[in-house]
Amino acid sequence: MNSHQIICSMCGNPRQFTLKECPYCGETDFLSDADAQVKAFTINLESGLPTIDEAFLRFEHYLTRLQNTGIRLIKVIHGQGSTGQTGKIKKAFRDAMDYGKWTNAIAEVYYGEVLKPGLSGLEELRRSHPTLAKGITLDMHGNSGITVLILFKDF
């Protein structure tokens, strides 16, 4: 992979940074400025069955790329942990969140299982970030295979 390529957050294939759409799966990684305040940017850590170190490098790559884009709502797919490597990635990623890794960029962390109507996590997110909460989609409700992050405004 050269410096002008990125890894697609959905399928894990390399593609040119300048392409708006992945030629393999059709995913559009970056959002338009108008969508940046409403939609979640997805980072798929389990795609391609990476090691924990590879998954963290992928996350850090996208975190760096998201600086100064205006995107604040991030959906991290790490898997539910029922089988194989995805369980290790979920545990390691959530441990990193619990221990404050990436605190320079991440303002708030919401584990998918608390983002369910009627639960305090979703209600707290709606109160504190009403615009961003519009980006919480049904696939995120109660999903323990994801973690939702809110980036700092000035990140």
Write down the pLDDT at residue 66: 85
Residue 35 has pLDDT above 50, yes or no: no
pLDDT for the residue numbered 3? 42
Residues 6 or more apart in contact with residue 15 via CB below 8 angstroms: 5, 6, 7, 8, 22, 23, 24
Report how far residue 53's alpha carbon sits from residue 103's, in angstroms, rounded to the nearest whole number: 19
Distances (CA, A) of 37 to 1, 87, 122, 136: 31, 31, 17, 12
> Is residue 36 pLDDT above 80, yes or no?
no
- Please tell me the predicted confidence (pLDDT) of residue 32: 44
CB 5 within 8 A of CB 15: yes
Instruction: Let me know: does 15 contact 51? Beta carbons within 8 Å.
Output: no
Q: What is the pLDDT of residue 34?
A: 43
Q: Which residue has the higher pLDDT, 131 or 30?
A: 131
Q: What is the pLDDT of residue 58?
A: 93
- Amino acid identity for residue 122 in this structure: L
pLDDT band at 17, cuts 50/70/90?
low
pLDDT band at 28 (very low <50, low <70, confident <90, very high): low
Which amino acid belongs to residue 108?
Answer: E
- Which tens digit of pLDDT belongs to each residue from 47-97? 888 899 999 999 999 898 888 777 888 999 998 866 555 588 999 999 999
Task: Give the model's pLDDT for residue 147.
Answer: 92
Tens of pLDDT, residue by residue over 100-149, are 899 999 998 999 888 888 878 888 888 888 888 888 888 888 888 999 99
The per-residue pLDDT for 79 is 87
**Residue 109 has what DSSP assignment?**
E
The pTM is what? 0.73
Tokens of 128: 């504190």
